[in-house]
Amino acid sequence: MPTKRNPTARSVTLRITPLAVQLFNEMRRLDNLCTCPPIDWAGKYWVRHECPACERWWQVHSQLHDALGAKPWHWPCIENPDTGNPYPSWTAGHRRWKPNLRGQAMWRALANASREAKRTRRAREAAAKVQRAASPAPPP
């Protein structure tokens, strides 16, 4: 007997966990610690060693990728929206380069979640400070 299948419309919702926000904040701190020399595009640009901060950035990125539940083909899963074309104008890579729009949207979502988490934490700390000041001191 044939059955009638009714497809269920499921919306894709992004769940940004506190762990993902924590990993994102660590990645932003590591961005500022990079000591890699600039790429020598005229020389052996393929022979390049990353600094410890960049190596750690990619390790944390892998953890963030897992925490977000991103698909394997969404790599890298985030991209700073301020990132420009990394290739020199005379290369084929410069002509083919396109920004990672999905990664940039993810960056913005994580940045907003990070900002909200900081705002919530500060409000909670301020409320606790007011409550401590308002409570009477215990008798000696």
Residue 20 burial (10 A CB sphere; 0-12, 13-18, 19+): buried
Q: Which helix (H) or strand (E) holds 87?
A: none
Kindly report the average pLDDT of the chain as a whole number.
90
Examine residue 71 and state whether it is found in any structural domain, yes or no.
yes
Examine residue 115 and state whether it is found in any structural domain, yes or no.
yes
Mind listing the pLDDT tens digit for each residue in 46-79?
888 899 999 999 999 999 999 999 999 999 999 9
Mind listing the pLDDT tens digit for each residue in 18-50?
999 999 999 999 999 999 998 888 888 888 889
CA atoms of 7 and 28, how far apart (whole Å): 41
Examine residue 8 and state whether it is found in any structural domain, yes or no.
no
- Mean pLDDT calculated for residue range 101-106: 94
Examine residue 139 and state whether it is found in any structural domain, yes or no.
no
Q: Domain span at residue 61?
A: 18-37+45-82+91-127
Examine residue 100 and state whether it is found in any structural domain, yes or no.
yes
Q: What share of the chain is helix, strand, coil (3-state, %, to 5)?
A: 50, 0, 50
CA atoms of 20 and 33, how far apart (whole Å): 20
Examine residue 32 and state whether it is found in any structural domain, yes or no.
yes
Examine residue 57 and state whether it is found in any structural domain, yes or no.
yes
Query: What was the pLDDT predicted at 1?
Result: 64
**Res. 11: pLDDT tops 80:** no
Examine residue 22 and state whether it is found in any structural domain, yes or no.
yes
